[in-house]
Amino acid sequence: MLRLSKLTDYAVVVLTRLEEAEDGGVLTAPGLAAATGLGEPTVAKVLKILSHAGLVEGRRGAAGGYRLARPLAEMPLTDVIAAIDGPIALTACVDNSIGLCDAEATCPVRGRWDPVNDAIRRALSGISIADLARVPAIVPHPDVVAAE
Amino acid sequence: MLRLSKLTDYAVVVLTRLEEAEDGGVLTAPGLAAATGLGEPTVAKVLKILSHAGLVEGRRGAAGGYRLARPLAEMPLTDVIAAIDGPIALTACVDNSIGLCDAEATCPVRGRWDPVNDAIRRALSGISIADLARVPAIVPHPDVVAAE
DNA sequence: GCAATCAGGACCCGATTGGTACGGATTGCA
DNA sequence: TGCAATCCGTACCAATCGGGTCCTGATTGC
């Protein structure tokens, strides 16, 4: 389905929540889990990945927690996707990488998806997490409105 | 990894091969399998899906086979992806659909990915299968060139 | 009537993902 | 100095999904 993982979804939620509470302080993983309604271990996992990618900064210790490494407006969606789902490439053969495919010599699609990957990267690079956060979370569905 | 399925990849190969041999005649699934180097049952499966989506037309019987329903230039990539991978939506919650998510009321991301989905649809709608077929299948990789 | 082909479904195996658990390191505070 | 709270890294397990195969029918031409 051309889908990306749930973890990426969670990451956006957590990042959005982190910015809302941004007053210079930090938020703990358990606190974020309670605020988002997600499972605590899952939130911790997401935060660890984001920390590894440099999108959030973790501070250890008794008064530790997480805070954003930079404002969400300066955080392109591609960074989050790349951090959690890996490099943005629609097929297993990333761009023109060599040595991964067993039927490399006869593979009829080598390099063929490159323009598609580029198109998607361009489309996504213009969207920041702040753009997603700006969307109202609950949007009335046309069917529901029509049914009323 | 934001990946789409291998089947979609195969579909592009098969469609491209179908157009090359387009002289008004048809190509059989076993023939296409031999021509593309893919497994025969797999090719048959792809063709069945494409036929169901109306992208190719199957003709049964002794002299049966498949032919393109329309030229590849008039076949947007989104049609093939939608036929094989389903509707283009990055998350499980397709757009603003209701009733699928269990934690619907508290879900903090409902409708949030819509602009992303739209951006990807726009980026992909401008690409036809003919555009992909036009890309040379074998492209020298920069690393390989540098290593020589 | 027979052979060749498409059509549709069921099935199984492997891979990936989501989610969990555990031990260790770091920091603040009493 | 010890304790508690927190992050960090890794390993692990269960469930889902996709790739691939097979079988049985329906249709067509010879």
Going along chain A from its start, the domains and CATH numbers come out as 6-137 (1.10.10.10)
pLDDT of residue B95: 43
Nearest to A116 among B77, B92, B110 (CB): B77
Residue B60 contacts by C-beta under 8 Å, 6 or more apart in sequence? none
pLDDT of residue A144: 40
Q: Do residues A95 and A115 lie in contact, with contact meaning Cβ atoms separated by under 8 Å? A: no
pLDDT tens for A84-107 read 988 887 765 544 444 444 454 455
Residue A118 φ/ψ, nearest 5 degrees: -60, -40
Does the distance separating the beta carbons of B106 and A37 come in below 8 Å?
A: yes
Residue A19 contacts by C-beta under 8 Å, 6 or more apart in sequence? A68, A71, A72, A130, A133
Give the whole-angstrom CA distance, residue A53 versus residue A144.
40
Does the distance separating the beta carbons of B115 and A1 come in below 8 Å?
A: no
- ipTM of model: 0.82
Q: Radius of gyration of chain B from Cα atoms?
A: 19
Question: Which residues of chain A make contact with B135, given a CB cutoff of 8 A?
Answer: 111-112, 114-115
Asked if the C-beta of B42 comes within 8 angstroms of chain A's C-beta atoms, the answer is no
